Structure 1
Amino acid sequence: MRSTTARPPDQLDDQDRAILRILQHDNKTSQRVIGEAVNLSAPAVQRRIARMEAAGIIRRNVAVVDPVSVGQGVTVVVEVQTVNDRSPVIAAAKRLFREAPEVQQCYLVTGRASFILILLVPDMASYEVLSRRLFADNELVQAFQTLVAAAAHAADVARKMV
């Protein structure tokens, strides 16, 4: 449940944004170190982080895993066009994509494609099997386009949110 006393996202101050930048780089940075960087005490940093978590600004803490180290060395971007954009078709496609562990990110988009998916697979043979199941033999999918990404991974090209 979101706190009613939490600051709305459009009212984040410079220190909140600085804390978020540090956490996005390394969410294990100690509150003391963060405090020194943003000129706050560790308890003040802890309160701000707790407030941003309660407000849903910080949704979760995750570990960024090197895909090659865990046998998932191929990143594939797939544009998926569903047979139509009616709610039952979109809902069924979302469920299918959510249940596939290879799907790392799924975006419902407008335009020619219905979805953009980011997948991690061990190799192209594995992707071929997966693409048949998720796309080619799927009655919900009208068409799909596969883009195989180069070696740059999300951890190598970090996106700054604030």
Structure 2
Amino acid sequence: MVIDLDRTDRHLLDLLQQDARQSLENLAAQVNLSTAAVQRRIKRLRDSKVITGEVVRVDEAAVGMAMTFIVSVELDRERASEIDAFRRKASKEPQVQQAYYTTGEADFVLIVLAHDMDDYELLTQRLFFDDPNIRRFRTSVVMGKSYRSLTVPTTHSAANLAD
């Protein structure tokens, strides 16, 4: 469901995505509204699930998760129950950072963190080898992170902006 957002809502979302810990006073000054008006807008954005949460970004290497893997997973049977079962299983695994149900060769693409190759091998046992519905999986080891963002663009098209 697309929520009707005006330019100020989108500007607030951009500012909050840059730093969710900004004070209401700072945000209000940047969008030319009162603190109370900004607070109401943010509450509305949360209540309507435009803002779904606030997190702290952690440097993976600093906590010993130095390796990142991109894993393409093909299921043997693609019934809805089998797809849901794998989706649930992947979402319960803390090392799986992102999981996408996809079209094409792979049914799922996962972004996975691990301490080292031995740690990744243990994860593959839990997620793939012990699952009779996994046809195959292919792993790419990330050699370096050129760019990474979880920021969602809010002004992708002038046609979608309400005044």
Flag whether TM exceeds 0.5 (same fold): yes
Tell me whether 1:89 sits opposite 2:82 in the alignment.
Answer: yes
Asked whether the equivalents of residues 76 and 133 of structure 2 are also in contact (C-alpha less than 8 Å), the reply is: yes
Tell me whether 1:147 sits opposite 2:140 in the alignment.
Answer: yes
- Two-structure CA RMSD over aligned residues (Å): 1.6
Aligned to 1:119: 112
State the alpha-carbon separation in 1 of the partners of residues 32 and 68 from structure 2: 40
Using the size of structure 2 for normalisation, the TM-score is: 0.87
Asked whether the equivalents of residues 96 and 111 of structure 2 are also in contact (C-alpha less than 8 Å), the reply is: yes
Report the CA distance between 1:36 and its aligned residue: 1.1
Which one of the candidate residues 140, 148, 151 is aligned to 1:160? 151
State the alpha-carbon separation in 1 of the partners of residues 60 and 150 from structure 2: 18
Tell me whether 1:70 sits opposite 2:63 in the alignment.
Answer: yes
Report the CA distance between 1:133 and its aligned residue: 2.3
Report the AA paired with residue 95 of structure 2.
E
Using the size of structure 1 for normalisation, the TM-score is: 0.87
Report the CA distance between 1:123 and its aligned residue: 1.0
SS in 2 for 1:27: coil
State the alpha-carbon separation in 2 of the partners of residues 135 and 148 from structure 1: 17
Structure 1: runs of 5 or more not aligned: 1-7
User: Percent of aligned positions with the same letter in both sequences?
Assistant: 37
**Greater relative CO (CA pairs within 8 A, separation 6+):** 2
Structure 2: runs of 5 or more not aligned: 155-163
State the alpha-carbon separation in 2 of the partners of residues 11 and 152 from structure 1: 35
Aligned to 1:57: 50
SS in 1 for 2:145: coil
State the alpha-carbon separation in 2 of the partners of residues 98 and 11 from structure 1: 30
Aligned to 2:41: 48
Which one of the candidate residues 63, 72, 93 is aligned to 1:79? 72
Report the CA distance between 1:142 and its aligned residue: 0.4
Asked whether the equivalents of residues 3 and 50 of structure 2 are also in contact (C-alpha less than 8 Å), the reply is: no
State the alpha-carbon separation in 1 of the partners of residues 23 and 113 from structure 2: 31
Report the AA paired with residue 147 of structure 1.
S
Aligned to 2:92: 99
Report the CA distance between 1:59 and its aligned residue: 0.6
State the alpha-carbon separation in 1 of the partners of residues 88 and 151 from structure 2: 29
